[in-house]
Structure 1
Amino acid sequence: MDGQRRAWLWQRVADGADHRSSAGWAGVVCEVAVDEIDVDAVAISVRSGARVQELVTVSEVWAQELEELQYTLGEGPGVEAFTTGGPVLVAEVHTARGRWPGFADAAGAHGLAAAFSFPLQSGAIRLGVLTLYRGRAGPLATGGLMDAAVLAELATAALLADATGSKRERAQWIREDSSGHYDAFNVATGMLAAQLRISIEEASLRLRAHAFSHNRSLLEVAQEVLRRHLSSDLFRE
């Protein structure tokens, strides 16, 4: 992707979050996706296995209904994207009856013709899914696919930053290249998982919980774990 296009998308989400506090970071990501990509509705969900653990935000009620179908049936593009860790691009939902027999028929009855899901993940940590819905069949153009991939990164950053830090801190994280933040967080998570003999997912949750309960940014806590300024004993249950 052109670096200017990538930077513009990041800036657009950051500016939107600054001026529309009620929408929140994730909500603005959905708004930008609908504006910039040839789709009709967008949803962001936090998942655990085949079931939606939490519906974070949707661009409209139609997307919520489709997310609820996936939750009820335990199948669909978002479920598959989360499970496999790769994008799931379905240009014609009615042809996916072999993959998702219940969802394909039910979603078709709701007017869904095409769906495109992107996992929200950072390293070994998989948080959820960004799913784009459309009432017209057909693939996404190359530009739309690239924009969706960038917005999935932004949604991941939003979810990681949402639990901690002030609005100004979140704006700073999302305006910068987030690789440094991800690297520190991922390495710290891996260290805790190894030291406490727990899963990566559990270590991630404990890091975020510690940051939230002490009113500190996730990046600060991760860096202190790496520098061994915070003992792993602080993260034991």
Structure 2
Amino acid sequence: MVELLAGLSENCVRLLDVAAAGVLLSDGRGVLRLVAASSERTRLLELFQLQRDEGPCLDCFRTGTPVLVPELAATADRWPAFCAAADGVGFRSVHAVPMRLQTTVLGTLGLFGSQVGSLDRSDLDLGQALAHVASVAVVNERAAADSATVNAQLQHALTSRVVLEQAKGVIAHVGDLTVEDAFRVMRRYARDHGRRLGEVAGDVVERRLAGRDLLEHARSVDLLPEE
């Protein structure tokens, strides 16, 4: 699930006319949590949005409808702290679409642009379609009517994200890498060994798998330069 949502954020950047993307999911108490981001600056901005409790992604989650902001500077009165923070990391526009199944809003997909302007209708429709596919994957259709099951599955995804962040920190420290490079090292190791990303992250955090083993594998496949 964590790898799927990370892939969602990366695919949005690859397929749509956006600079970055982030995924927020609701936990069992209805509180939004960050689960995926396509870049470190996006991760920090999404966390800032959650901490300050203001921003287009939060409004999208609360209303269950898209929040389209082609020019953030023009909405500074609505989200003053968020707009200032977004400008500081180079984002000029945001388009947030809901992740939902039927009437249940699971979270939001935030699409961040480095330029002022609206997304084309085709890009916006594709972004919403990707969010819908991810929503179906998070909670299967049969469980959609069972709120306890929905909450349990969402909580599992959020817990896995915490472990993933911890593992990225370990690998980044051991290899003197950026957090983004550490994620690529861990994901490549998981794929090449036929394992789930969450399992590898758990092994790193619990010290069943040494960070240096992942770094050596990354160098062996030319993902990182030799020391």
Q: TM exceeds 0.5?
A: yes
State whether residues 99 and 132 of structure 2, in contact with CA within 8 Å, keep that contact through their aligned partners in structure 1: yes
In the alignment, the residues of structure 2 paired with residue 69 and residue 24 of structure 1 have an alpha-carbon distance, to the nearest angstrom, of: 23
State whether residues 138 and 154 of structure 2, in contact with CA within 8 Å, keep that contact through their aligned partners in structure 1: no
Residue 116 (structure 2) pairs with residue 158 (structure 1): no
How do residues 214-233 of structure 1 correspond to structure 2 at under 5 angstroms?
none
TM superposition shift of 1:155: 2.0
State whether residues 50 and 74 of structure 1, in contact with CA within 8 Å, keep that contact through their aligned partners in structure 2: no
Residue 144 (structure 2) pairs with residue 186 (structure 1): yes
In the alignment, the residues of structure 2 paired with residue 100 and residue 208 of structure 1 have an alpha-carbon distance, to the nearest angstrom, of: 28
- Name which of 115, 136, 143 aligns with 2:94: 115
Match of 2:211 in 1: none
Measured on the aligned residues, the alpha-carbon RMSD in Å equals: 2.4
TM superposition shift of 1:101: 1.8
Match of 2:36 in 1: 57
Match of 1:77 in 2: 56
Match of 1:140 in 2: 119
Alignment CA distance shift 1:101-1:127 (3 Å): same
Q: What amino acid sits opposite 1:131 in the alignment? A: G
TM superposition shift of 1:138: 0.3
TM superposition shift of 1:159: 2.2
State whether residues 26 and 158 of structure 1, in contact with CA within 8 Å, keep that contact through their aligned partners in structure 2: no
In percent, how many aligned pairs have the same letter?
27
- Name which of 99, 107, 110 aligns with 2:78: 99
Q: What amino acid sits opposite 1:79 in the alignment? A: L
Match of 2:150 in 1: 204
In the alignment, the residues of structure 2 paired with residue 113 and residue 139 of structure 1 have an alpha-carbon distance, to the nearest angstrom, of: 11
TM superposition shift of 1:203: 5.9
TM superposition shift of 1:158: 2.9
In the alignment, the residues of structure 2 paired with residue 52 and residue 135 of structure 1 have an alpha-carbon distance, to the nearest angstrom, of: 24
Structure 1 length-normalised TM: 0.59
- Name which of 6, 22, 28 aligns with 1:43: 22
In the alignment, the residues of structure 1 paired with residue 30 and residue 80 of structure 2 have an alpha-carbon distance, to the nearest angstrom, of: 15
State whether residues 51 and 74 of structure 1, in contact with CA within 8 Å, keep that contact through their aligned partners in structure 2: no
TM superposition shift of 1:112: 1.2
**Unmatched tracts of structure 2, length 5 or more:** 156-227
Alignment CA distance shift 1:208-1:38 (3 Å): closer
Q: What amino acid sits opposite 2:107 in the alignment? A: G
State whether residues 92 and 114 of structure 2, in contact with CA within 8 Å, keep that contact through their aligned partners in structure 1: yes
TM superposition shift of 1:71: 1.3
Structure 2 length-normalised TM: 0.61
TM superposition shift of 1:115: 0.5
In the alignment, the residues of structure 1 paired with residue 134 and residue 14 of structure 2 have an alpha-carbon distance, to the nearest angstrom, of: 16
TM superposition shift of 1:50: 8.8
Worse overlay, 71-80 or 43-52: 43-52
Alignment CA distance shift 1:186-1:50 (3 Å): closer
